Amino acid sequence: MASCATELKTISDTTLNYEWLFVQSGTTTTLKKPDGDADRYTLTMNGVAKRIGFTDRPYHLVKVMTMPKWLELWSPTDRDSFKISPPNTAVSFTLTPEQQGGSGSDIGFMLVTLTEPTITEDANGTHTVKYRLTNVDTSFLPPAALEGTPDGGIALQNASLMIDGHHSSHHGLSHISASAQRRMAKGTKHASQAANAEAKKQAAAAKALALQQKCEICTSGMAAAAEALAEAATAFYADVAAGGANTGLLSSS
C-alpha cells in the first residue's frame, strides 16, 4: 500500500492540468431579490444531497461530493478557493405557464456568480443551501419569469446549478482513485505521443515540399538547357544542309 501511495504522489495535478465542473440540484428552489438591492439575489435550494463533479476533456472522471467536501472548496486559505474567486453558474429551471408569459419557451436560465454559501442540515440528512448571487444576468428570461420576486421570492421548478471549474490542485479533489490517476496519466502520455507524431508528420511534409521545389527548379533548368541545345542543333544541321558555309567544318580541296 505504501508503494502505491508513493506512486500516486509522483503523478502531479499540475502536470495533468485537469479541472472540475459541478452540478447541484435539490427538491425545491426559491429565488428572492431583497428590497432595495437591485443587483443581488438570494437563492435557496432545499433537499440537496450531494453534488456531482466531473472533469474537463480529455479526462473522463466523475466524483460524488459530500457537503463537507463541497465546503472545502470555499476555504479562504486555498489559492483556488471559490471564496477568493467565486464561480460563475448557470441556473436552469422549468418555466410555469405563468412565468412563460406567452413567450413559448418552457425552459428558463440565468447566469450568476455564487457567493456566501450558508448550509443547514435537514432532518432527513439532506441540506438546505443558500447562496447570495451577484452579476445576475436575467436577459435570457421572459419578463414574467421574475414577477413577484421582491415579495418573498418565486419557486424555480426542477432547478439545477451548473457551476464552473475548480482546479485539481485543491486537496479535497486531488485524492482520486489509483485507477483513475493511471487513466489520466495514460491519457496525458497518449496526448503527448499524438503531438509528437503530428510534429513529425508536419516536418516530413515540409521536407517533401522543399524537395519538390528543388526538383521543380532542376526540371525547369534542364528543360531550358534542352531547348537551347535543340535550337543549336537545328541551326547546325541547317548550315550543314546549306553546304557548310557557316559551320567551318566542311572545306574545299
- pLDDT of amino acid 88: 92
pLDDT score at 124: 85
Round to whole Å and give the CA distance between 106 and 146. Answer: 14
- Residue ranges of the chain with pLDDT lower than 70? 1-17, 34-39, 148-152, 166-192, 194, 243-253
pLDDT of residue 46: 92
pLDDT at 104: 74
- For residue 122, the model assigns a pLDDT of 86
pLDDT at site 215:
73
Which residue is listed with cell 544541321?
237
- Residue 37: per-residue pLDDT: 59
CB proximity list for 88: less than 8 A, separation 6 or greater: 111, 112, 113, 135, 163, 164
182: left (phi over 0), alpha (psi -120 to 50) or beta: alpha
What percentage of the chain has pLDDT greater than the value 90? 15
- H/E stretch holding 25: strand 19-25
| Res 129: pLDDT | 93
d(CA 156, CA 159): 6
Amino acid 33: pLDDT: 76
User: All 3 cell numbers of residue 214?
Assistant: 528543388
